[in-house]
Amino acid sequence: MAAKTKSRTRHYAMVIDTNRCVGCWTCAVACKEVNNEPLGYWWNRVLTTAPNQSTSAKPPASPNIDVPYGVYPNLELAYLPVACQQCNDAPCVKVCPVQATFRRDDGMVLIDYNRCIGCRYCMAACPYGVRVFNWGGHEYAPGGTVGYGKDYYVDGRLVFTPYRPKGIVEKCTFCVERVDVGEKPFCVESCPLGARVFGDLDDPDSEVSKLVNEGGAEQLQSDLGTDPNVYYLPVARRVPGES
């Protein structure tokens, strides 16, 4: 498979600055629109967390979003936008029995909609819970679909289609159809706070390279060894009373 793929010299990555995120869900809604996600689908979502927590570190304060952690007046609140982490060593790629999920050599993990058999093993294997399955066809919000709106192929493989086939798994594509023509993923474009940075890790002068190499950006659940290409800048906080 790798031999047939055209060599790409980039290595895409995203850095999300949790200092800037206010939990407005604009990225999640923008993602839903540009990718024509049917009702009940969220490729991208914003979790309510305490600052600097990995995704499975401590029990939630509440089942509801926007509820702070702690006891008044010592409350804390942060947000963690989570979509596909585009892992370099992706468990979903390893378990897919038919090589429908594959990693392009610029770091994008994509799904071949024409090959997926719908076994959902990838959903069992993903530690971030970012994959969605099409349980019953496509049902859209009134007003129809917007966004990219046409099929997109990578090396002859269908990796995006606006009207979703029933019975296959899908997820965030890093907006491959936008990135391939030099645009940024739509969540990066739409974030009102500029909390998301997208770029090429192989270019040492790019902003993502600097944030990853010098800015202290971290990966989610890095102990699992999945080596995601999505990084998070920790919340820098100063606690009163401490030096």
Partner 1 sequence: MSTATTALRGKAARPAGPIRLWYTALVLVMAWGLAAWIYELRVGLAATGMRDVVSWGLYIFTFAFFIGLSAGGLIMASSAEVFGIKALKPLSRLGVLSAAACVCVAALMIIPDLGKPFRVINIFIHPNWSSPLVWDILIISIYFVFSVVDLYVLQRHVKEPSRWHTTVRVLAYIGLPTAILLHSVTAWIFGLQISRPWWNTSLMAPLFVVSAILSGTALVTLLALAAERWGGFSLPTETRRWLRGFILVSLLLDLFMVGADYVTMLWGNVPAAKSAIDLVLPNGPWSWLFWSEWVVGGVVPLAFLLVPALRRTPGSLGIASVFAILGVYAFRAELVVVGFVNPLVQYPPGNAVGTYNPATSSFQMIGRYHPTWVEYGIVLGLTALFLTIVTLGYEALRLRGSPPSGPGPAAHGDEPGGKAMALGGEVV
Footprint of partner 1 (CB under 8 A):
38-42, 45, 47-49, 53, 55-65, 67, 80, 82, 91, 94-100, 115-121, 123-129, 131-137, 139, 165-169, 224-226
Nearest distance in Å: CB 28, partner 1: 10
Nearest distance in Å: CB 30, partner 1: 16
140: nearest Cα among 41, 39, 43: 39
Angstrom distance (rounded) from CA 96 to CA 218: 27
The residue count of the chain comes to: 243
Nearest distance in Å: CB 116, partner 1: 7
Smaller CB separation from partner 1, 116 or 175: 116
187: nearest Cα among 24, 11, 8: 24
Smaller CB separation from partner 1, 202 or 218: 218
235 and 76 in contact (C-beta within 8 Å)?
no
Smaller CB separation from partner 1, 134 or 206: 134
Angstrom distance (rounded) from CA 155 to CA 105: 12
Nearest distance in Å: CB 112, partner 1: 9
187 and 31 in contact (C-beta within 8 Å)?
yes
176: nearest Cα among 99, 110, 132, 231: 110
Smaller CB separation from partner 1, 179 or 233: 233
Smaller CB separation from partner 1, 70 or 225: 225
Nearest distance in Å: CB 105, partner 1: 17
